[in-house]
Amino acid sequence: MGTFLINRFIANWKRYFLGDTVDVRPSPFSDVRPSLAGPVLSLGGGGPDVDDAIQWMINQVRGGTNSATKVNVVVIRTNGNHDYNRLIYAMKGVNFVETLVISNREEANKAEIFQKVKNADVIFFAGGDQCQYIRNWKDTKLETAVKSVYLKGGGVGGTSAGAMIQSEYIYDACASSEKGIETRDALEDPYRDITFTYNFFNWSNLKGTIVDTHSDRRQRMGRIMTFIARQIKDGVSNSVLGIAVSESTSVLVDKNGLVKVMGRGAAYFVLGNHIPEVCEPRSPLTFSNYKIWKVCSGDSFNLKNRPTSGYYLRSVKRGRIDSNPY
Protein backbone atom coordinates (compact mmCIF):
# COMPACT_ATOMS: atom_id res chain seq x y z
CA MET A 1 0.00 0.00 0.00
CA GLY A 2 1.34 3.45 -0.84
CA THR A 3 0.37 7.03 -1.53
CA PHE A 4 0.35 8.53 -4.98
CA LEU A 5 -0.67 11.68 -6.81
CA ILE A 6 -2.18 11.64 -10.28
CA ASN A 7 -2.44 14.87 -12.26
CA ARG A 8 -3.99 14.30 -15.66
CA PHE A 9 -6.38 15.58 -18.28
CA ILE A 10 -9.29 13.30 -19.12
CA ALA A 11 -11.41 14.37 -22.09
CA ASN A 12 -10.45 18.04 -21.49
CA TRP A 13 -11.29 18.08 -17.77
CA LYS A 14 -8.67 17.99 -15.04
CA ARG A 15 -8.44 15.32 -12.38
CA TYR A 16 -6.06 15.42 -9.40
CA PHE A 17 -6.02 12.34 -7.19
CA LEU A 18 -4.21 11.69 -3.90
CA GLY A 19 -4.73 8.53 -1.87
CA ASP A 20 -3.86 4.93 -1.17
CA THR A 21 -2.88 2.68 -4.06
CA VAL A 22 -4.90 -0.07 -2.39
CA ASP A 23 -8.37 0.96 -1.27
CA VAL A 24 -9.35 -0.95 1.87
CA ARG A 25 -12.97 -0.04 1.13
CA PRO A 26 -15.12 -0.93 -1.88
CA SER A 27 -13.98 0.49 -5.20
CA PRO A 28 -14.89 4.15 -5.79
CA PHE A 29 -16.80 2.91 -8.85
CA SER A 30 -18.90 0.53 -6.74
CA ASP A 31 -22.38 1.33 -5.46
CA VAL A 32 -21.63 -0.60 -2.25
CA ARG A 33 -20.56 1.95 0.35
CA PRO A 34 -20.36 2.02 4.13
CA SER A 35 -23.19 3.63 6.07
CA LEU A 36 -22.62 7.36 6.57
CA ALA A 37 -23.70 9.34 9.63
CA GLY A 38 -24.72 12.68 8.09
CA PRO A 39 -25.89 14.60 6.23
CA VAL A 40 -23.90 17.64 7.34
CA LEU A 41 -22.94 20.97 5.81
CA SER A 42 -19.96 23.29 6.17
CA LEU A 43 -20.24 26.93 5.03
CA GLY A 44 -16.93 28.79 4.97
CA GLY A 45 -16.81 32.58 4.97
CA GLY A 46 -13.81 32.90 2.65
CA GLY A 47 -10.22 33.88 3.26
CA PRO A 48 -8.00 31.30 4.99
CA ASP A 49 -9.86 28.02 5.41
CA VAL A 50 -10.84 26.69 8.83
CA ASP A 51 -9.11 23.31 8.66
CA ASP A 52 -10.87 22.11 11.81
CA ALA A 53 -14.23 22.73 10.13
CA ILE A 54 -13.36 20.41 7.23
CA GLN A 55 -12.16 17.82 9.75
CA TRP A 56 -15.43 18.21 11.69
CA MET A 57 -17.43 17.47 8.53
CA ILE A 58 -15.31 14.39 7.82
CA ASN A 59 -15.69 13.14 11.40
CA GLN A 60 -19.44 13.66 11.38
CA VAL A 61 -19.81 11.63 8.21
CA ARG A 62 -17.53 8.88 9.55
CA GLY A 63 -19.59 8.58 12.72
CA GLY A 64 -17.15 10.18 15.15
CA THR A 65 -13.50 10.91 15.75
CA ASN A 66 -12.78 7.34 16.83
CA SER A 67 -14.60 5.62 13.98
CA ALA A 68 -12.58 3.17 11.89
CA THR A 69 -14.42 4.28 8.74
CA LYS A 70 -12.42 6.23 6.19
CA VAL A 71 -14.09 8.52 3.68
CA ASN A 72 -13.45 9.54 0.11
CA VAL A 73 -13.43 13.29 -0.53
CA VAL A 74 -14.03 15.06 -3.85
CA VAL A 75 -13.16 18.75 -4.27
CA ILE A 76 -15.00 20.47 -7.10
CA ARG A 77 -14.12 23.77 -8.78
CA THR A 78 -14.38 25.49 -12.18
CA ASN A 79 -10.71 26.47 -12.32
CA GLY A 80 -7.53 26.24 -10.29
CA ASN A 81 -5.48 23.29 -9.17
CA HIS A 82 -5.10 20.64 -6.48
CA ASP A 83 -4.12 22.87 -3.54
CA TYR A 84 -6.73 21.22 -1.27
CA ASN A 85 -5.52 17.67 -1.88
CA ARG A 86 -2.60 17.47 0.52
CA LEU A 87 -4.41 19.48 3.20
CA ILE A 88 -7.42 17.17 3.22
CA TYR A 89 -5.52 13.94 2.69
CA ALA A 90 -3.52 14.66 5.87
CA MET A 91 -6.74 14.78 7.91
CA LYS A 92 -7.85 11.91 10.08
CA GLY A 93 -10.18 9.39 8.46
CA VAL A 94 -9.51 10.25 4.81
CA ASN A 95 -9.02 7.37 2.39
CA PHE A 96 -8.43 9.49 -0.69
CA VAL A 97 -9.10 12.97 -2.00
CA GLU A 98 -9.66 13.93 -5.61
CA THR A 99 -10.02 17.38 -7.17
CA LEU A 100 -12.19 17.73 -10.27
CA VAL A 101 -11.96 20.93 -12.31
CA ILE A 102 -15.31 21.08 -14.11
CA SER A 103 -15.52 24.24 -16.17
CA ASN A 104 -18.49 23.75 -18.49
CA ARG A 105 -21.83 22.00 -18.77
CA GLU A 106 -20.54 19.32 -21.12
CA GLU A 107 -18.06 18.18 -18.48
CA ALA A 108 -20.72 18.44 -15.75
CA ASN A 109 -22.87 15.98 -17.69
CA LYS A 110 -20.19 13.35 -18.30
CA ALA A 111 -21.01 9.89 -16.99
CA GLU A 112 -17.53 9.49 -15.46
CA ILE A 113 -17.87 12.76 -13.53
CA PHE A 114 -21.31 11.70 -12.33
CA GLN A 115 -19.97 8.37 -11.07
CA LYS A 116 -16.97 9.88 -9.28
CA VAL A 117 -19.06 12.47 -7.46
CA LYS A 118 -21.91 10.07 -6.67
CA ASN A 119 -19.54 7.66 -4.96
CA ALA A 120 -17.86 10.31 -2.82
CA ASP A 121 -18.64 10.56 0.88
CA VAL A 122 -17.73 14.23 1.27
CA ILE A 123 -17.93 17.03 -1.33
CA PHE A 124 -16.10 20.35 -0.98
CA PHE A 125 -16.64 23.33 -3.30
CA ALA A 126 -13.65 25.64 -3.58
CA GLY A 127 -14.13 29.38 -3.65
CA GLY A 128 -14.56 31.15 -6.95
CA ASP A 129 -17.41 32.73 -8.89
CA GLN A 130 -20.90 31.56 -7.95
CA CYS A 131 -22.27 32.70 -11.31
CA GLN A 132 -19.90 30.35 -13.11
CA TYR A 133 -20.79 27.54 -10.71
CA ILE A 134 -24.49 27.98 -11.38
CA ARG A 135 -24.14 28.41 -15.15
CA ASN A 136 -21.89 25.36 -15.47
CA TRP A 137 -23.42 22.99 -12.91
CA LYS A 138 -27.12 23.74 -12.37
CA ASP A 139 -29.51 21.18 -13.93
CA THR A 140 -26.66 18.79 -14.82
CA LYS A 141 -25.71 15.27 -13.81
CA LEU A 142 -23.14 16.81 -11.47
CA GLU A 143 -25.91 18.54 -9.48
CA THR A 144 -27.79 15.23 -9.24
CA ALA A 145 -24.67 13.44 -8.02
CA VAL A 146 -23.95 16.02 -5.31
CA LYS A 147 -27.54 15.75 -4.07
CA SER A 148 -27.15 11.97 -3.85
CA VAL A 149 -24.13 12.37 -1.55
CA TYR A 150 -26.16 14.52 0.82
CA LEU A 151 -29.15 12.17 0.74
CA LYS A 152 -27.07 9.12 1.63
CA GLY A 153 -25.70 10.85 4.74
CA GLY A 154 -22.58 12.44 3.36
CA GLY A 155 -21.11 15.89 3.83
CA VAL A 156 -21.19 18.92 1.54
CA GLY A 157 -18.97 21.89 2.27
CA GLY A 158 -17.60 24.92 0.55
CA THR A 159 -16.05 28.31 1.07
CA SER A 160 -16.94 31.77 -0.26
CA ALA A 161 -18.87 31.17 -3.52
CA GLY A 162 -18.81 27.46 -2.70
CA ALA A 163 -20.81 28.22 0.43
CA MET A 164 -23.15 30.76 -1.13
CA ILE A 165 -24.51 28.29 -3.71
CA GLN A 166 -25.83 26.05 -0.94
CA SER A 167 -28.62 28.26 0.43
CA GLU A 168 -32.17 28.03 -0.89
CA TYR A 169 -32.03 31.57 -2.28
CA ILE A 170 -28.72 32.36 -4.01
CA TYR A 171 -27.28 35.76 -4.86
CA ASP A 172 -25.71 34.67 -8.14
CA ALA A 173 -23.66 37.77 -9.07
CA CYS A 174 -24.48 37.13 -12.74
CA ALA A 175 -25.53 40.74 -13.40
CA SER A 176 -22.52 42.43 -11.79
CA SER A 177 -18.75 42.34 -11.91
CA GLU A 178 -16.76 39.33 -10.70
CA LYS A 179 -16.47 40.95 -7.28
CA GLY A 180 -20.25 41.31 -7.06
CA ILE A 181 -22.42 44.10 -5.71
CA GLU A 182 -21.32 45.71 -2.45
CA THR A 183 -23.24 47.18 0.47
CA ARG A 184 -23.49 50.85 -0.49
CA ASP A 185 -24.80 50.15 -4.00
CA ALA A 186 -27.18 47.43 -2.82
CA LEU A 187 -28.77 49.67 -0.20
CA GLU A 188 -29.05 52.60 -2.63
CA ASP A 189 -30.87 50.50 -5.25
CA PRO A 190 -32.01 46.98 -4.27
CA TYR A 191 -32.68 46.06 -7.92
CA ARG A 192 -29.65 47.34 -9.81
CA ASP A 193 -27.38 44.46 -10.90
CA ILE A 194 -28.79 42.13 -8.22
CA THR A 195 -30.13 38.79 -9.44
CA PHE A 196 -30.90 35.49 -7.74
CA THR A 197 -30.98 31.81 -8.58
CA TYR A 198 -33.43 29.32 -7.10
CA ASN A 199 -33.91 25.56 -7.08
CA PHE A 200 -30.29 24.49 -7.01
CA PHE A 201 -29.43 22.11 -4.16
CA ASN A 202 -32.29 22.96 -1.75
CA TRP A 203 -30.77 21.34 1.35
CA SER A 204 -33.48 20.55 3.89
CA ASN A 205 -31.69 22.31 6.76
CA LEU A 206 -31.15 25.50 4.74
CA LYS A 207 -34.75 26.09 3.69
CA GLY A 208 -35.66 29.77 3.72
CA THR A 209 -32.04 30.95 3.88
CA ILE A 210 -29.64 33.06 1.87
CA VAL A 211 -25.91 32.78 2.57
CA ASP A 212 -23.32 35.53 2.18
CA THR A 213 -19.60 35.40 2.89
CA HIS A 214 -16.67 37.76 3.61
CA SER A 215 -19.21 39.43 5.86
CA ASP A 216 -16.98 41.41 8.20
CA ARG A 217 -13.86 42.14 6.13
CA ARG A 218 -15.88 43.48 3.21
CA GLN A 219 -18.62 45.04 5.37
CA ARG A 220 -21.39 43.13 3.62
CA MET A 221 -24.13 43.20 6.23
CA GLY A 222 -26.06 45.81 4.27
CA ARG A 223 -26.12 43.71 1.14
CA ILE A 224 -27.48 40.61 2.85
CA MET A 225 -30.16 42.87 4.35
CA THR A 226 -30.98 43.91 0.78
CA PHE A 227 -31.04 40.31 -0.44
CA ILE A 228 -33.51 39.44 2.33
CA ALA A 229 -35.75 42.40 1.51
CA ARG A 230 -35.81 41.41 -2.15
CA GLN A 231 -37.05 37.87 -1.45
CA ILE A 232 -39.93 39.24 0.59
CA LYS A 233 -40.79 42.11 -1.77
CA ASP A 234 -40.64 39.82 -4.81
CA GLY A 235 -43.01 37.35 -3.19
CA VAL A 236 -40.50 34.51 -2.92
CA SER A 237 -41.06 34.16 0.83
CA ASN A 238 -42.61 36.14 3.67
CA SER A 239 -39.73 35.32 6.02
CA VAL A 240 -36.04 34.92 5.16
CA LEU A 241 -33.03 34.08 7.32
CA GLY A 242 -29.71 35.44 6.13
CA ILE A 243 -26.53 33.64 7.17
CA ALA A 244 -23.61 36.07 7.00
CA VAL A 245 -20.28 34.32 7.58
CA SER A 246 -17.09 36.18 8.45
CA GLU A 247 -13.75 35.40 6.84
CA SER A 248 -11.70 32.58 8.42
CA THR A 249 -14.96 31.32 9.94
CA SER A 250 -17.23 28.37 9.19
CA VAL A 251 -20.87 27.63 9.93
CA LEU A 252 -21.30 23.89 10.53
CA VAL A 253 -24.78 22.38 10.23
CA ASP A 254 -25.41 18.91 11.63
CA LYS A 255 -28.12 16.53 10.43
CA ASN A 256 -30.61 17.95 12.97
CA GLY A 257 -30.15 21.57 11.88
CA LEU A 258 -28.00 22.53 14.85
CA VAL A 259 -25.29 25.03 13.91
CA LYS A 260 -21.84 25.32 15.41
CA VAL A 261 -19.61 28.27 14.50
CA MET A 262 -15.88 27.61 14.22
CA GLY A 263 -12.92 29.82 13.36
CA ARG A 264 -11.59 33.29 14.06
CA GLY A 265 -14.74 35.34 13.59
CA ALA A 266 -18.50 35.25 14.05
CA ALA A 267 -21.54 34.38 12.00
CA TYR A 268 -24.63 36.54 11.87
CA PHE A 269 -28.15 35.16 11.47
CA VAL A 270 -30.30 37.95 10.09
CA LEU A 271 -34.09 37.59 10.02
CA GLY A 272 -36.47 39.64 7.93
CA ASN A 273 -40.10 38.70 8.50
CA HIS A 274 -42.29 41.52 7.19
CA ILE A 275 -42.80 43.46 3.98
CA PRO A 276 -40.17 46.19 3.43
CA GLU A 277 -41.42 49.74 3.82
CA VAL A 278 -39.57 50.74 0.63
CA CYS A 279 -37.97 48.25 -1.74
CA GLU A 280 -38.20 49.55 -5.29
CA PRO A 281 -35.89 50.02 -8.30
CA ARG A 282 -33.84 53.25 -8.19
CA SER A 283 -34.92 53.95 -4.59
CA PRO A 284 -32.92 53.50 -1.38
CA LEU A 285 -34.04 50.61 0.80
CA THR A 286 -36.09 51.16 3.95
CA PHE A 287 -36.71 48.07 6.09
CA SER A 288 -37.26 48.20 9.83
CA ASN A 289 -36.33 45.82 12.63
CA TYR A 290 -34.19 43.06 11.24
CA LYS A 291 -33.47 40.60 14.03
CA ILE A 292 -29.77 39.74 14.22
CA TRP A 293 -28.20 36.94 16.25
CA LYS A 294 -24.42 37.22 16.50
CA VAL A 295 -22.96 33.74 17.06
CA CYS A 296 -19.29 33.70 18.01
CA SER A 297 -16.83 30.88 17.46
CA GLY A 298 -17.67 27.92 19.68
CA ASP A 299 -21.31 28.93 20.10
CA SER A 300 -24.39 27.40 18.50
CA PHE A 301 -27.65 28.30 16.76
CA ASN A 302 -30.64 26.10 16.00
CA LEU A 303 -32.02 26.43 12.48
CA LYS A 304 -34.99 24.14 13.17
CA ASN A 305 -35.99 25.69 16.50
CA ARG A 306 -34.88 29.28 16.07
CA PRO A 307 -34.27 31.08 19.37
CA THR A 308 -36.85 33.64 20.43
CA SER A 309 -34.36 35.81 22.30
CA GLY A 310 -30.72 36.83 22.18
CA TYR A 311 -31.07 39.00 19.09
CA TYR A 312 -30.67 42.73 18.53
CA LEU A 313 -32.61 44.93 16.10
CA ARG A 314 -31.25 46.97 13.23
CA SER A 315 -33.13 48.98 10.63
CA VAL A 316 -32.30 50.40 7.22
CA LYS A 317 -33.69 53.88 6.56
CA ARG A 318 -33.32 55.48 3.14
CA GLY A 319 -30.34 53.29 2.32
CA ARG A 320 -28.50 53.66 5.62
CA ILE A 321 -28.25 51.20 8.51
CA ASP A 322 -29.30 52.98 11.69
CA SER A 323 -26.31 51.76 13.78
CA ASN A 324 -23.41 49.32 13.66
CA PRO A 325 -24.93 45.96 12.60
CA TYR A 326 -22.00 43.94 13.91
pLDDT, mean of residues 88-103: 96
**Shared domain check, 150 and 260:** no
Q: Give the pLDDT confidence score for residue 186 in this predicted structure.
A: 97
| Distances in whole angstroms, Cα of residue 117 to Cα of each of 54, 55, 70, 122, 260 | 18, 19, 16, 9, 26
Number of domains in the chain: 2
pLDDT, mean of residues 38-46: 96
Structural domain harbouring 18:
1-166
Q: Around Cβ 131, how many Cβ atoms within 10 Å?
A: 21
Q: Give the pLDDT confidence score for residue 176 in this predicted structure.
A: 75
**Shared domain check, 152 and 181:** no
Q: pTM of the predicted model, to two decimals?
A: 0.90
Q: How confident is the model at residue 16 (pLDDT cuts 50, 70, 90)?
A: confident
**Shared domain check, 324 and 191:** yes
Q: Around Cβ 175, how many Cβ atoms within 10 Å?
A: 14
**Shared domain check, 154 and 34:** yes
Tell whether the model's pLDDT for residue 246 goes beyond 50: yes
**Shared domain check, 92 and 203:** no
Mean pLDDT score of the chain = 91
133-155 pLDDT per residue, tens: 999 999 999 999 999 999 999 99
**Shared domain check, 98 and 187:** no
Q: Which helix (H) or strand (E) holds 261?
A: strand 258-263
Find the DSSP H helices in the chain.
51-62, 85-89, 105-108, 111-118, 130-137, 141-151, 161-164, 183-188, 221-233
256-303 pLDDT per residue, tens: 999 999 999 999 999 999 999 999 999 999 999 999 999 999 999 999
pLDDT, mean of residues 64-85: 93
- Interhelix angle 111-118/141-151, rounded to 10 degrees, is 10
Please say which residue of 143, 166, 189 terminates a domain. Answer: 166
